Chains A and B, each alone.
Chain A
Amino acid sequence: MLAQQLANGIILGSLYALIAVGFALLFSILDVINFAHGSLFMFGAYVAMILLGSVHVPFMFALLGAMIGAGLLGVVVEKIAVAPLRRRKVPGWNALISTFAAAVIIENLAQRIFGTDYRSFPSPIQLRVYSILGATVTNLQIFALCACLVLMGLLVIFVRYTWLGRAFRAVEQDSQAASVMGVNVGSIVALAFFLSAALAGAAGVFVAMYYNIVSVQMGLLAGIKGFVASVLGGMGSIAGAALGGFIIGMLEVLVSAYISANVKDIVVFLALILVLFVKPSGLLGRRAL
């Protein structure tokens, strides 16, 4: 029983972590909270569904397509809703409104294009069930977990060990100085949006696969949960966001199993409030803002 819940918690946590990392990436560079993140997540799931169901491409290509599709849409959001504010040096949290408006637009267009009803997500691989240490897991779940870990690992490697990643960190520390040293801040910001949205798109595909369902509304709750996870772990810290994701996934699963599924949201938000009171910069946050 406990082993099963822990397994479920880790898998759900990895999905939240993937969403949260996208928030953290943007916040670290821009001090911007992207409220269209959930819509990008939803868009990725739809792109993969269409690629799998109508075009019949292999799953890996569908996943890649979803990431690129969501990533490009993320860049569009940046160009329309964030870049104009950045140029005018308006405080970062004004982007709350413009990205929220972008989410309204994306979700309503998606409703017109994809319809409002729930659609089932085509199963990409033959389902197999394994038993590991008393917990029953499917190969789909294992795949989702591994893919999340690999993607987050790739992101960390990119930021830490490549020259573009160094430009990333430079902009994060001081965008003006970075710009003086020849870093094209605009492109770095666009790239950050692309990566963050691509991760959201991938998370959308995994969640759709996990629950076997796609809907236009699926982004809203996932967006909020991912956001909470990134705050819990420390805004702007990638490792913190991942940790926050796992904590929230585990908390939700355990509370649903041992108390009641009804109170899981309350517990998650109470945990967030508690962390904010005790350490406002989050569990692994570096600086108090």
Chain B
Amino acid sequence: MIARDIRNITRFLPGILLVLVLLVLPFVYHDQYVYQIAILTGMYMILTMAMNLMLGQTGLVMLGQAGFYGLGAYVAALLALNLHWPFVATFLAGGVAAGLAALIVGFPSLKLKGIYFALVTMSLAEILRSIETIWISLTRGPMGLPGIPRPNLLGIEFSSRNEPYFFLVVLFVVAAFLFFRWLERSNLGLSLRAVRDDEVGASSAGIHVFRGRMVAFVIGCFITGLVGAFYAHLYTYVGPSSFTWDQSLLVLTMSMLGSFGGLPGCLIASIVLTMAPEILRPLALYRQVFFGAMLILLVVFSPALSTCRIGRKRRDIAQHRTEA
């Protein structure tokens, strides 16, 4: 028993130490540019983990994440600007709005198969973006909403400096990671993977396929909405051009490349793909070209993509049967 505890602690020690270092860092290191990239990376990490729940765990090909991301951001921005809600409230409201939207949309669309579900979510994101663009009396249209107040947490007034945001993002990533890790290892996660791998087999083993998909979809969109709300308070501006469809595709890419390495794989993929354009900055005007080339190489040579799902199928279902 004690031996296992010690083994567990030594296993998690590097992670715990890393988080502690990251939490102390804002007090001693002050390069704003580095923090800006780090915050962005953290946000993509959470978006990618949310996508991983939907795509990697449940097999929902979701092409409209940017729609829910934007919905969370707009709801938070409007509540903060018009009703002067505090940060914690708008943050949660952003997530709840996206989760509710997912619940409503999920009922008709989750019955559709793979690519059709993808297309419905893509259309939905485009519709949301059109609404953001044309409902000028509420959203100011293409001009967007500037001047969103910065958070005020526990008496700490956030300024344009990035350190407090970084601190917050680290906590957010850790919380999201632990949550998704717990979810993956729970009975629910197991049944989601069973649904992904073999729908008929899973339902014959007593798994409610539709309910499983719905739970994954709503949780994924809820977390996405939370990140959107954070976005609004970080940049103090939201506009429809921030939530375009290549945004969805970027996160989808991160999660596809990462999901086969589990949650840590997602984290690594989001670090690589967020930082790549920054590291390629010396190439100046051609960096997007190199980014694209790198993406193709990753997809073409990534061993994970070709071996995905092989060998997991039977085990997960069998395991679920024995546990149920």
By a beta-carbon cutoff of 8 Å, the part of chain A in contact with chain B is 35, 80-81, 84-85, 88-90, 93-94, 96-98, 100-105, 108-109, 112, 224, 228, 231, 235, 262-263, 265-266, 269-270, 272-273, 276-277, 280, 288-289
Contact = CB atoms under 8 A, between A and B. Distances in A.
Interface of B: 61, 108-109, 112-116, 118-120, 123-124, 126-127, 130-131, 133-134, 245-246, 249, 252-253, 256, 285-286, 288-289, 291-293, 295-296, 299-300, 305-306
Nearest to A108: B288
A89 B306 contact: yes
A109 B289 contact: yes
A277 B116 CA distance: 9
24 contacts: A35-B249, A80-B296, A85-B300, A90-B305, A90-B306, A93-B114, A94-B256, A97-B295, A98-B299, A98-B300, A101-B292, A102-B292, A102-B296, A105-B292, A105-B296, A108-B286, A108-B289, A108-B292, A224-B245, A263-B134, A265-B130, A272-B123, A276-B116, A277-B120
Contacts of A90: 305-306
Looking at chain A's contact residues, the main secondary structure is helix
Given A105-B289, A276-B123, 11 more contacts: A80-B296, A85-B305, A98-B295, A98-B299, A101-B295, A102-B296, A105-B292, A105-B296, A276-B120, A277-B120, A289-B116
Contacts of A94: 256, 299, 305
A231 B245 CA distance: 17
Contacts of B289: 104-105, 108-109
B252 A97 contact: yes
A80 B61 CA distance: 24
A97 B119 contact: no
Contacts of B249: 35, 96-97, 100
Given A93-B61, A93-B115, A276-B119, A270 B296 contact: no
B276 to A, nearest CB: 12
B116 to A, nearest CB: 4
A231 B285 CA distance: 35
A270 B127 contact: yes
B112 to A, nearest CB: 6
Given A93-B61, A96-B249, A263-B130, A273 B115 contact: no
Contacts of B246: 100
Given A97-B256, A280-B116, A269 B127 contact: yes
B127 A81 contact: no
A23 to B, nearest CB: 12
Contacts of B306: 88-90
Nearest to B244: A220
B32 to A, nearest CB: 28
A105 B296 CA distance: 10
A289 B300 contact: no
Contacts of B113: 280, 288-289
